[in-house]
């Protein structure tokens, strides 16, 4: 028979939102269970320096997340390495099935499943994924020592990845579909001053080209968005950094979503369309998508879950 665990508050996700919810729910004596998912620590484990987490002018993303995990654990959060595969929100307690076979039942749930990298959707991108095409410079940059690399995108992630990749690459071409970046100015400044980086404005990637045997990238073809002219760029690595989409698989058919799948919460609140289910962090936030705002929403979700449970206790008693 499946192992069943009951908790007052089940927190799904181990990014800044999940761990902060853990700290607050623990301090409210709610003895939360937090399920970490496939990416313990979340998106910040895929980056290097974080320079906008208050209290640290610079901290490595993975270190920050190890600290947050330790903090949540020290306050009393039970942290479990498991993956939630479905949630039944039709009645309380809510029931979550997991990859390990454990069934979690919970009086309230905090969804903090964050966001995942988007892909361009090209056939050739799919073909060379893991063989020269990547969405994580910190994970794969090391393989391209002394090689030429292409980065796609014009946001903070693309600029940071391009800068980071200059530690390994002989040259980085940043291909962006417009002629201005949407990244922070401080990052744009660093990019423009870096002699190893060459921006290619107003271009879109149309094809990744490479060898069959062994499978590997040899270059890309990029099209000018106005003239249609094709430019061929030799490279060994292609890093796609075109943004992130909310990780909403568990709830997209049951909760209200908007703006491309972000879970809708009530104004100034983390309450979703189902009472007792709260959502925090990048899963709900199409606008700011920062570690500190995610952590703030994790705090709000735990405080709101506490109030919800107190009201339920009042109703039952
Ligand atoms: P995430 O960090 O996305 O974490 C989601 C968590 O949910 C993961 O632990 C995952 O395992 C878990 N999960 C997902 N599905 C399930 C499931 N089914 N069951 C259980 N668990 C599940 N922001 C900044 O403020 N400063 C920066 O310098 C910065 N740098 C960044 C660099 C990069 C390369 C990237 C990609 C993002 C960066 N960001 C930065 C943005 C920041 O990382 C996010 O805003 C933040 O991590 C969002 O936190 P979150 O808790 O909502 O979710
Ligand atoms: P983003 O800000 O959404 O930027 C995505 C970029 O990719 C944009 O420049 C966009 O072009 C381009 N793009 C999107 N779809 C494309 C397509 N199909 N083809 C070609 N280009 C495409 O995403 P992000 O850079 O991943 O950042 C996500 C969030 O994390 C942001 O809120 C960001 O601030 C945060 N973050 C923060 C830091 C930091 O604080 N240091 C670091 C990394 C990320 P357009 O510009 O034309 O739309």
Ligand nearest to the CA of 186: 2
- Per the prediction, the chain carries an average pLDDT of 96
Q: Is 299 a catalytic residue?
A: no
Are the CB atoms for 281 and 298 separated by under 8 Å?
yes
- Residue 88 known to be catalytic: no
Q: Which of 7, 23, 1 shows the shortest CA–CA distance to 84?
A: 7
CA of 159 to the centre of ligand 2 (A): 9
- Active-site residue, selected from the candidate residues 139, 179, 189, 211: 139
Q: SS3 letters for 224-283?
A: ECCCCCEEEEECCEEEECCCEEECCCCCCCCCCEECCCEECCCCCCCECCCCCEEECHHH
Query: In angstroms, rounded to a whole number, what is the distance separating the alpha carbons of residues 255 and 240?
Result: 30
Q: Is the CB of 155 under 6 A from ligand 2?
A: yes
User: What average pLDDT does the segment 40-56 reach?
Assistant: 93
What does the angle CA 18 – CA 20 – CA 25 come to, to the nearest 5 degrees?
Answer: 90
Answer for the pair 217, 204: CB distance below 8 angstroms, yes or no.
no
The residue written with tokens 């405080």 in the block is: 303
Domains and CATH numbers, the chain: 4-116+244-316 (3.50.50.60), 119-240 (3.50.50.60)
For residue 315, what pLDDT is reported?
Answer: 59
* Helical H segments across the chain, by residue range: 16-27, 61-75, 123-128, 137-140, 156-165, 185-193, 291-316
Mean pLDDT of 125-137: 93
Q: Please give the average per-residue pLDDT across 112-117, as a whole number.
A: 96
Our answer on whether the CB atom of 225 is closer than 6 Å to any ligand 2 atom is no
pLDDT tens digits for 149-161?
Answer: 999 999 999 999 9
Q: Which band of pLDDT confidence, cut at 50, 70 and 90, is reported for residue 130?
A: confident
Q: Is 182 in the pocket of ligand 2 (CB under 6 A)?
A: yes
Say which ligand is closest to the CA of 151. 2
Split at pLDDT 50, 70, 90, the class of 2 is confident
Q: Of 28, 19, 6, nearest to 304 (Cα)?
A: 28
Residue 317 has pLDDT above 50, yes or no: no
Phi, psi of 52 (to 5 degrees): -130, 25
Q: Is the CB of 46 under 6 A from ligand 1?
A: yes
Q: Give Rg (Cα) of the chain.
A: 22
Q: Residue 41 CA: which ligand is closest? A: 1
Spacing, Cα 214 to ligand 1 middle (Å): 34
Q: How far away, in angstroms, is 282 Cα from ligand 1 center?
A: 7
What is the mean predicted confidence (pLDDT) over 137-153? 94
- CA 11-37-163 angle, to 5 degrees, is 110
Q: What angle do CA 198, 224, 216 make, to 5 degrees?
A: 65
Residue 7, beta-bridge partner list: 106
pTM, two decimals, is 0.90
For range 260-274, the mean pLDDT: 97
The whole-number average pLDDT for the span 70-95 is 98
Asked if pLDDT for residue 316 goes beyond 60, the answer is no
How remote is the CA of residue 29 from the centroid of ligand 1, in Å? 26
**Main-chain dihedrals φ then ψ at residue 122, nearest 5 degrees:** -85, 145
Q: Which pLDDT score is estimated for 314?
A: 61
pLDDT tier, 99 (very low <50, low <70, confident <90, very high otherwise) = very high
Under a CB-based contact definition with an 8 Å cutoff, are residues 21 and 300 in contact?
no
Residue among 19, 52, 114 whose CB has most ligand 1 atoms within 8 A, to mutate = 114
Total Cβ atoms within 10 A of residue 21: 36
Look up residue 153 and give its two tokens.
């995108």
> Does residue 134's CB lie within 6 angstroms of at least one atom of ligand 1?
no
pLDDT of residue 48: 85
The response to whether residue 13 sits with its C-beta less than 6 Å from ligand 1 reads yes
The yes-or-no answer on residue 139 being catalytic is: yes
Q: What is the pLDDT of residue 300?
A: 98
Does the CB atom of residue 238 touch ligand 1 within 6 A?
A: no
């Amino acid at each position: 028979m499946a192992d069943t665990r009951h908790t007052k508050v089940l927190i799904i996700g181990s990014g800044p939102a999940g761990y902060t919810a853990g700290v607050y729910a623990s301090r409210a004596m709610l003895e939360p269970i937090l399920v970490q998912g496939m990416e313990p620590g979340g998106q910040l484990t895929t980056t290097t320096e974080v320079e906008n987490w208050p209290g640290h002018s610079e901290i490595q993303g993975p270190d920050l997340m190890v600290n947050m995990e330790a903090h949540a654990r020290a306050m009393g959060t039970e942290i479990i390495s498991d993956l939630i595969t479905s949630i039944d929100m039709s009645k309380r307690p809510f029931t979550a099935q997991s990859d390990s076979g454990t069934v979690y039942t919970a009086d309230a749930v905090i969804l903090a499943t964050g966001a995942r990298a988007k892909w361009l959707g090209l056939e050739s991108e799919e073909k060379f994924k893991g063989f020269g095409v990547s969405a994580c410079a910190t994970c794969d940059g090391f393989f391209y020592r002394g090689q030429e690399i292409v980065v796609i995108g014009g946001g903070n992630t693309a600029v940071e990845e391009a800068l980071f990749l200059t530690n390994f690459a002989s040259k980085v071409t940043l291909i962006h579909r417009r002629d201005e970046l949407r990244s922070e100015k401080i990052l744009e400044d660093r990019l423009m001053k870096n002699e190893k980086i060459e921006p290619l404005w107003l271009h879109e990637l149309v094809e990744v080209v490479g060898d069959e045997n062994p499978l590997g990238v040899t270059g890309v073809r990029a099209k000018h968005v106005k003239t249609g002219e094709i430019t061929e760029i030799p490279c060994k690595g292609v890093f796609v950094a075109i943004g992130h989409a909310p990780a909403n698989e568990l709830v997209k058919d049951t909760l209200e979503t908007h703006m491309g799948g972000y879970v809708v919460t009530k104004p100034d609140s983390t309450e979703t369309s189902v009472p007792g289910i709260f959502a925090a962090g990048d899963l709900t936030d199409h606008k700011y998508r920062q570690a500190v705002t995610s952590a703030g929403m994790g705090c709000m979700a735990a405080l709101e879950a506490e109030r919800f449970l107190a009201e339920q206790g009042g109703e039952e008693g």
